[in-house]
């Protein structure tokens, strides 16, 4: 019937409140996106459908989404309520749209839940991930079984995973492969429910290609509670705008305000983690008591840093030659169980990228670039040259590959496709995603902090550090710190 954003839910319900029809609510609602938002949307919708709380206790039944209870859910949807009024069946925190390709993100949610001491929630995510991957608890107790999850190489070193597996076994949880629950529910939605019966599904993700999604879109209402989760500039702007809107609403209800420095400190502590941000804000509201304004001193006194700094924060600090920030993010990543070789590889790749930019600027393609060039000029005049440069480079790499493989004609037919894909993913390209030029512009700007000679010197130094990390038994943290000092120290004649 229709799909709208979370912020439009109020207008939708206001329109329905003016409708005198007896069955004005649709038979099925799908609410998806950010967990905190979809749970809030569920509460708002329930209050509208079942405004009488005493009746809600009898006519509302929430279910967990498991293979064992899908048929019970459908049966209840097709059974008339014993009490008068509307009847609501909710499938909460559903994983019905999950697929094997979602395994990595599911386990990331499990890790976050475990870090928040929500072991039961973490176990639910792990069980789902194993079911999608066709693995048992016994499988993932072994290193080769964990490898079948095809995640990063540090999963064997993450104690949280073993802790959650132990919880699952101790509590007799079972892993079962998905059995087409979406198809069962799709048929039920298409057939329809008795008047006054309603299904509400809440989930963090949807697949709009699935028949279930299309059936709900045709027969019901879809409420989009998602927030851009990427790392592009536009995504970050949208995330921060959303955080600020949530903060304003919470503060207005509490009769509080927050100064800008306090807000910035909170955001730096949590990143875009809506649940943690809101929880921290509520802690601060409670802490200040009758005082109206939350200050940065309050933030420092009450909160601790909860943000797991992604590795790009460290590489950005490296590119800015900021020793203090780089060391801070190094400590944060190591405490978050990032492997030291992952961190070293990220630093190496960043220096290589900066060196590739220097090579480009010195070539005929880079004649338009100069320090201080504006972004619009970069996008219109320099990005086309970068794309041409990358295209020529890919062709050259392909030619070299063909020369090397000229005597392997039988294998070339079998492997040609994978080689081409491999070439497209080479780190030698300046703009892997030319449709997003802003990160490329930032890379060029940061390259001005280095000379080509310094970058070449850093590459040589890291080559020696690589041997120290892999063969000498030295403390990896000390080796990484030494590399950081060598790269980031300011030298005469370098732009800052």
Pair 289, 394 in one domain = no
Domain CATH number, residue 441: 1.20.272.10
Which of these three, 274, 302, 330, is where a domain ends? 302
Pair 451, 473 in one domain = yes
Pair 38, 118 in one domain = no
**SS3 per residue for the chain:** CEEEEHHHHHHHHHHHHCCCCCCCCCCEEEEEECHHHHHHHHHHHHHHHCCCHHHHHHHEEEEECCCCCHHHHHHHHCCCCCCCCCEEEEEEEECCCCCHHHHHHHHHHHHHHHHCCCHHHHHHHHHHHHHHHCCCHHHHCCHHHHHCCCCCCCHHHCHHHHHHHHHHHHCCCCCCCCCCHHHHHHHHHHHCCCCCEEEEEEECCCCCCCHHHHHHHHHCEEEEECCCCCCCHHHHHHHHHHHHHHHHHHHHHHCCEECHHHHHHHHHHHCCCHHHHHHHHHHHHHHHCCCCEECHHHHHHHCCCCCCCCHHHHHHHHHCCCHHHHHHHHHHHHHCCCCHHHHHHHHHHHHHHHHHHHHHHHCHHHCCCCCCCCHHHHHHHHHHHHHHHHHHHHHHHHHHHHHHCCCCHHHHHHHHHHHHHHHHCCCCCCCCCCCCCHHHHHHHHHHCCCCHHHHHHHHHHHHHHHHHHHHCCCCHHHHHHHHHHHHHCCCCCCCC
Pair 282, 252 in one domain = yes
Residue range(s) defining the domain that contains residue 298: 233-302
The answer as to whether 392 is a domain residue is: yes
The answer as to whether 410 is a domain residue is: no
Pair 200, 92 in one domain = yes
Pair 26, 70 in one domain = yes
Task: Indicate the number of domains in the chain.
Answer: 4
Pair 265, 353 in one domain = no
The answer as to whether 135 is a domain residue is: yes
Which of these three, 279, 302, 325, is where a domain ends? 302
The answer as to whether 478 is a domain residue is: yes
Per-residue pLDDT of the chain (496 residues; tens, 9 = 90+): 689 999 899 999 998 888 777 778 999 999 999 888 899 999 999 999 998 888 888 899 998 766 567 888 899 999 887 777 889 999 998 888 887 778 888 888 888 888 777 888 888 888 888 888 888 888 887 777 677 776 554 454 567 888 889 888 888 888 876 657 788 899 999 999 998 999 999 998 888 888 999 999 999 999 999 887 776 777 788 888 888 888 998 999 899 999 998 998 888 877 777 778 888 898 888 888 888 999 998 888 887 665 656 688 889 889 999 998 899 888 878 877 788 899 999 999 999 999 999 999 999 999 899 888 888 788 889 999 999 988 888 888 777 777 766 655 545 444 444 455 454 556 678 887 777 787 888 889 999 999 999 999 999 999 999 999 988 788 999 999 999 999 998 664 444 4
């Amino acid at each position: 019937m229709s799909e709208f954003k979370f912020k439009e839910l109020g207008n939708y319900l206001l329109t329905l409140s003016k409708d005198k029809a007896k069955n004005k609510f649709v038979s099925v609602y799908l609410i998806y996106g950010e967990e905190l938002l979809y749970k809030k949307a569920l509460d708002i919708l329930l209050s509208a459908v079942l405004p009488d709380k005493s009746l809600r206790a009898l006519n509302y039944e929430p279910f967990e989404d498991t293979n064992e209870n899908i048929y019970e859910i459908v049966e209840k949807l097709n059974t008339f309520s014993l009490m008068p009024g509307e009847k609501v069946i909710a499938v909460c925190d559903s994983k019905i749209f999950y697929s094997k390709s979602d395994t990595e993100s599911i386990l990331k949610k499990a890790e976050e839940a475990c870090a928040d001491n929500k072991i039961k929630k973490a176990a639910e995510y792990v069980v789902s991930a194993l079911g999608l991957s066709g693995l048992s608890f016994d499988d993932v107790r072994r290193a080769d079984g964990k490898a079948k999850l095809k995640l990063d190489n540090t999963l064997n070193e993450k104690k949280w995973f073993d802790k959650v597996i132990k919880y699952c076994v101790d509590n007799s949880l079972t892993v079962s492969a998905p059995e087409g629950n979406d198809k069962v529910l799709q048929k039920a939605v298409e057939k329809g429910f008795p008047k006054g019966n309603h299904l509400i599904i809440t989930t963090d993700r949807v697949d709009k290609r699935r028949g279930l999604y299309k059936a709900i879109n045709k027969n019901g209402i879809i409420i989009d509670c998602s927030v851009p989760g990427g790392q592009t500039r536009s995504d970050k702007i949208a995330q921060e705008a959303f955080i600020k809107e949530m903060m304003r609403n919470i503060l207005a209800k509490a009769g509080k305000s927050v100064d800008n420095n306090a807000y910035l400190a909170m955001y730096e502590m949590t990143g875009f983690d809506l649940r943690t941000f809101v929880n921290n804000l509520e802690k601060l509201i409670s802490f200040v008591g009758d005082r109206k304004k939350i200050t940065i001193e309050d933030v420092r006194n009450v909160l601790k840093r909860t943000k797991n700094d992604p590795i790009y924060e460290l590489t950005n600090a490296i590119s800015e030659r900021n020793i203090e920030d780089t060391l801070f993010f190094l400590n944060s990543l190591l405490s978050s169980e990032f492997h030291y070789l992952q961190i070293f590889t990220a630093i190496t790749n960043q220096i290589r990228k900066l060196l590739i930019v220097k090579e480009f600027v010195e070539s005929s393609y880079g004649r338009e670039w100069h320090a201080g060039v504006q972004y619009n000029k970069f996008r219109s005049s320099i990005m086309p040259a970068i794309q041409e440069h990358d295209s020529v480079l890919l062709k050259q790499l392909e030619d070299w590959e063909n020369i090397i493989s000229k005597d392997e004609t039988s294998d070339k037919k079998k492997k040609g496709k994978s080689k081409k894909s491999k070439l497209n993913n080479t780190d030698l390209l300046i703009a892997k995603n030319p449709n997003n030029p802003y990160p490329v512009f930032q890379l060029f700007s940061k390259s001005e902090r280095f000379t080509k000679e310094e970058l070449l010197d850093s590459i040589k130094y890291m080559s020696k550090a690589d041997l120290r990390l892999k063969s000498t038994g030295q403390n990896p943290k000390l080796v990484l710190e030494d590399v950081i000092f060598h790269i980031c120290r300011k030298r005469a004649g370098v732009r800052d």
